[in-house]
Amino acid sequence: TFALERDQQAEENEEKNKTVFRILKDRYTGQSTGTTIQLLYDPATGRKQEYNPFDAVDEQDRENKTEPEQKEDF
């Protein structure tokens, strides 16, 4: 049994486009029960793709960080 969850009333479009795919019951083995997969809708392609919120934060951190200054040894 599967479920899809989404916040349709979110203020930000990115938040509205996030969906959680949740496995409610795994009747075959029971090992996947409770597993969730984050999905993000891409309006340009019209498709949902797997999304890892931790990767998005890492990309933003990389963009905001400047290259460390290299010290010259004399």
Q: How many domains does the chain have?
A: 1
How many Cα atoms are found within 13 Å in the side-chain-facing hemisphere of 70? Answer: 4
pTM of the model: 0.63
**Residue 22 three-state SS:** strand
DSSP state of 35: -
Residue span of the structural domain in which 30 resides: 2-63
* Cα distances (Å, whole numbers) of residue 49 to 34, 38, 62: 20, 8, 22
Amino acid identity at 40 = L
Residue 69 lies in a domain: no
| pLDDT the model gives residue 65 | 55
| pLDDT the model gives residue 27 | 87
Residue 14 lies in a domain: yes
Query: How would residue 72 be classed by pLDDT, with cut points 50, 70 and 90?
Result: low
Q: Which helix (H) or strand (E) holds 15?
A: helix 13-16
